């Protein structure tokens, strides 16, 4: 089990660049297990085929939850940026 998540503020700071908030499965895995080496497949659920880290391996549900969390943050940022203009 993953004990701690980055706060929304820290997540945005870490994964934003000149194009905005850049998120995806790589940022999800980096947020859950920084520096871990892994092979991942997805066919309805996330399956870790190879795990090389002393950190606990996240479950498929934890990966899915973090993916949805980052997607929601990206959508909120896009919405707020669109009403600014």
pLDDT in tens, the chain (85 residues): 444 678 899 999 999 998 899 999 999 999 999 999 999 998 889 999 999 999 999 999 999 999 999 999 999 999 998 887 6
Q: Give dist(CA 68, CA 62) in Å, integer.
A: 10
Which of 47, 13, 42, 43 lies closest to 27 in space, CA to CA?
13
Torsion 11-17-22-28 (CA) sign: negative
Torsion of CA 17, 20, 21, 22, to 10 degrees: -60
pLDDT value for 62:
94
């Amino acid at each position: 089990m993953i004990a701690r998540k980055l706060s929304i503020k820290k997540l945005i700071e870490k994964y934003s660049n000149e194009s905005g908030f850049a998120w995806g499965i790589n940022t999800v895995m980096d947020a859950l297990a920084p520096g871990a080496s892994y092979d991942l497949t997805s066919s309805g659920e996330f399956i870790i085929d190879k795990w090389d880290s002393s950190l606990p391996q996240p479950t498929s549900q934890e990966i899915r939850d973090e993916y949805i969390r980052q997607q929601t943050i990206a959508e909120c940022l896009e919405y707020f940026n669109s009403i600014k203009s």
